[in-house]
Chain A
């Protein structure tokens, strides 16, 4: 079974530029999460989806971040415009309904904003 797939793995952009990350969760997993992980820190939740619905986006900086999960499968996370402080690893995870607390993570996208 394929795991959570994220792309790109690495992205280097200049500040004020837009950037987008893509995530394909494990097949059949209804719950999808986007996290941000700063160096030396644990993942911090940005947004959680149940199917197509964003059920927790309280930590998403909505002035510059947006996310969508069309058709309840793939998801994209966008930053526009990027700031220097957005440099981090962006992780996507998914969970099956049967084990909602257990999250399966992708390898992440490492973003560097110059």
Chain B
């Protein structure tokens, strides 16, 4: 079993849709939770970062963590074609563990 599991997609949505990206993790000791966005042929860039359960909002993006079920979500409101990328779920404690990523396509 992988330590971080994500549906690889691809997920295709129309512009303006609400997008929900999800992942699960196996180790209850993981202390921090992040989402990275990776455009094609680019390095990953940090999108959201939190330590605690609950919601964290930043503009059109909301990260949600449920430590009791080891479930992490990223919501994107009013999705734009520029949101088309791979979204990596990331967590860890001493070591940082990256999920395989979910490919998102937002159609204009």
* B43:A106 contact, CB within 8 angstroms: yes
A79 within 8 A of B: no
Tell me if B's interface is mostly helix, strand, loop or mixed: strand
Q: Min CB distance, A49 to chain B, in Å? A: 14
Residue in A42, A56, A105 whose beta carbon sits within 8 Å of that of B45 in the complex: A105
* A107:B42 contact, CB within 8 angstroms: yes
B100 within 8 A of A: yes
Alpha-carbon separation in the docked complex, A105 to B96 (Å): 14
Q: How large is the interface on A (under 10, 10 to 19, 20 to 34, 35 or more residues)?
A: 10 to 19
Tell me if A's interface is mostly helix, strand, loop or mixed: loop
Q: Which of B1-20 contact A (CB under 8 A)?
A: 4, 8
A4 within 8 A of B: yes
In the complex, the 6 A-B pairs of residues with the closest C-beta atoms, listed nearest first = A105-B43, A42-B98, A42-B100, A105-B44, A107-B43, A43-B98
